[in-house]
């Protein structure tokens, strides 16, 4: 073999070897990632020929596939959704161009390609049975979801509500309003109109595509005082009768003065106020002083124990399995900023889910359970593929601190409290109102968090009205009450 031919042969072998290595790398290690990539449209378009499994809430299929092929046409399945806009922020939509919600996070189970369904798939091949995706069963309780969604729809306010079973972390309701009907964007017979509808939603200034319950942060206002009170008990050994200076207006060395928002602008006639009464009537100045007294490190540490992050990060490992944007409670040193952080203003921001976790943690003796939406996954013959087991997310407070907080929160919904609109006849309700200043003339955010029954919690809730402009007690508390009544009555 002459030299040029030998060199060409060696070069060709090197190229062939490199090609084989690349193919092995892609097929062996990257195939699944490429297949599941959001930009890979084939995972959506090819699945239209297969029967995708249902998504189930209660006993109803809220997402399911219908064979729309006719005659000798190739089989085609149209995805359909029940419940209108009520479940879309959770269930999502499976479109020709992508997927959202549970349709996205549980895609491989719903389309049957998940390795956990391999045995079932092999059995179907042997028996000649038509393949079908798995059945994903959610934790949502229809009555809770309907109570929250219908209340938002009737009022016409933007906002969100989350309900959690305190002892397990199961999400009983997750409302985001406004929403949209997934059926409007998934048609495979009129794809052009479906795409136009989706583009219109993307450009809607009310952001109906945004899941406000999990992906939007708000100043939590006075609902955050429960976190501050927990820190005062844990770090300063405070109790319900412990007092703190509660002037009508709190002056700082720098920054604007902080007034009270209570009727008449006073908490205890300007005298020091007890921790219990400050929670009951939602006193600003005493809670700002509690935050300053304990310091920014202690407040941020307590917030983190409930699930907040003290650092400025936009990534989170909290998936339920929908990804949740982190809530923020950074360490503050300046008294003016720290005092306002203690009443849920300043740099404190929270998702509605996070504030529901605060309420649920108090309700569950200080133990915060990891929230979750998927109860179980079953194959086509209803055999269990996966079953979610409750897991502890964090120990936010001691059991005794949680019990003390519960007793004080019950005062909020009782006579003279700021949250009487959340009271339920014959049932003790623990709660806390919140009215967060937003600036810019857009109106306050209005909050309520709570749980019921106070002595045997079955449901914990957080409700926020976005720029409602009223108070948490007048706007958010009635919605929370209706969601709690769906479980306890």
Active site residues: 222
Best CA proximity match to 151, nearest among 442, 358, 446: 446
Return the structure tokens found at 417: 């409290």
- For the beta carbon of residue 118, count every other beta carbon within 10 angstroms: 11
Q: Please give the angle made by the CA atoms of 391, 394 and 396, to the nearest 5 degrees.
A: 140
Do the Cβ atoms of 464 and 224 come closer than 8 Å? no
Q: What are phi and psi of 439, to 5 degrees?
A: 75, 165
How close are the terminal C-alpha atoms of the chain, in Å?
Answer: 92
Return the structure tokens found at 77: 């399945």
Do the Cβ atoms of 339 and 258 come closer than 8 Å? yes
Q: Say how far apart CA 471 and CA 22 lie, in whole Å.
A: 62
Mode of pairing for the β-strands spanning 159-164 and 171-177: antiparallel
Return the structure tokens found at 30: 């990257």
- CA 427 from centroid of its chain's CA atoms: 27
Q: Is 201 exposed, middle or buried (0-12, 13-18, 19+ CB in 10 A)?
A: middle
Do the Cβ atoms of 102 and 342 come closer than 8 Å? no
């Amino acid at each position: 073999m002459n030299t040029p031919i030998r060199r060409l042969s060696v070069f060709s072998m090197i190229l062939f070897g490199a090609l084989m290595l690349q193919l092995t790398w892609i097929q062996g290690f990257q195939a699944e990632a490429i297949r599941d990539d959001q930009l890979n449209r084939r995972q959506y378009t090819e699945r239209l020929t297969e029967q995708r499994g249902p998504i189930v809430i209660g006993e109803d299929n809220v997402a399911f596939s219908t064979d729309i092929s006719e005659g000798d046409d190739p089989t085609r399945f149209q995805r359909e959704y029940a419940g209108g806009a009520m479940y879309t922020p959770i269930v999502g939509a499976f479109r020709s161009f992508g997927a959202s919600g549970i349709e996205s996070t549980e895609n491989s189970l719903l389309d049957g390609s998940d390795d956990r369904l391999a045995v079932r798939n092999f059995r179907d091949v042997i028996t000649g049975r038509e393949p079908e995706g798995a059945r994903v069963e959610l934790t949502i309780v229809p009555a809770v979801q309907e109570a929250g969604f219908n209340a938002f729809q009737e009022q016409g306010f933007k906002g969100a509500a989350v309900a959690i079973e305190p002892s397990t972390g199961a999400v009983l309701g997750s409302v985001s309003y406004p929403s949209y009907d997934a059926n409007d964007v998934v048609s495979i017979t009129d794809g052009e109109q479906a795409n136009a509808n989706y583009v219109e939603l993307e450009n809607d200034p009310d952001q109906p595509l945004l899941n406000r319950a999990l992906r939007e942060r708000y100043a939590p206002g006075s609902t955050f005082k429960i976190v501050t009170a927990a820190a005062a008990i844990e770090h300063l050994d405070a109790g319900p009768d412990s007092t703190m200076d509660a002037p009508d207006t709190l002056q700082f060395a720098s920054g604007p003065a902080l007034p009270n928002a209570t009727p008449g602008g006073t908490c205890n006639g300007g005298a020091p106020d007890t921790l219990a009464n400050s929670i009951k009537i939602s006193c600003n100045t005493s809670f700002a002083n509690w935050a300053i007294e304990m310091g920014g490190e202690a407040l941020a540490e307590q917030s983190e124990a409930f699930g907040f992050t003290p650092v400025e990060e936009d990534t989170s490992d909290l998936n339920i399995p929908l990804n949740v944007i982190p809530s923020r409670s950074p360490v503050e040193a300046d008294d003016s900023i720290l005092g306002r952080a203690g009443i849920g203003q300043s740099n404190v921001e929270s998702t509605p889910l996070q504030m529901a976790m605060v309420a649920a943690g108090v309700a569950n003796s200080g133990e915060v359970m990891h929230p979750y939406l998927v109860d179980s996954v079953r194959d086509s013959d209803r055999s269990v593929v996966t079953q979610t087991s409750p897991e502890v997310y964090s120990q936010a407070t001691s059991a005794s601190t949680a019990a003390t907080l519960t007793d004080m929160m019950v005062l909020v919904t009782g006579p003279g409290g700021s949250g009487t609109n959340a009271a339920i006849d014959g049932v003790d309700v623990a709660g806390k109102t919140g009215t967060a200043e937003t600036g810019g003339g857009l109106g306050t955010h209005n909050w309520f968090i709570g749980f019921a029954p106070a002595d045997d919690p079955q449901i914990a809730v957080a409700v926020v009205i976005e720029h409602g402009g009223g108070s948490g007690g007048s706007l958010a508390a009635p919605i929370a009450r209706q969601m709690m009544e769906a479980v306890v009555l």
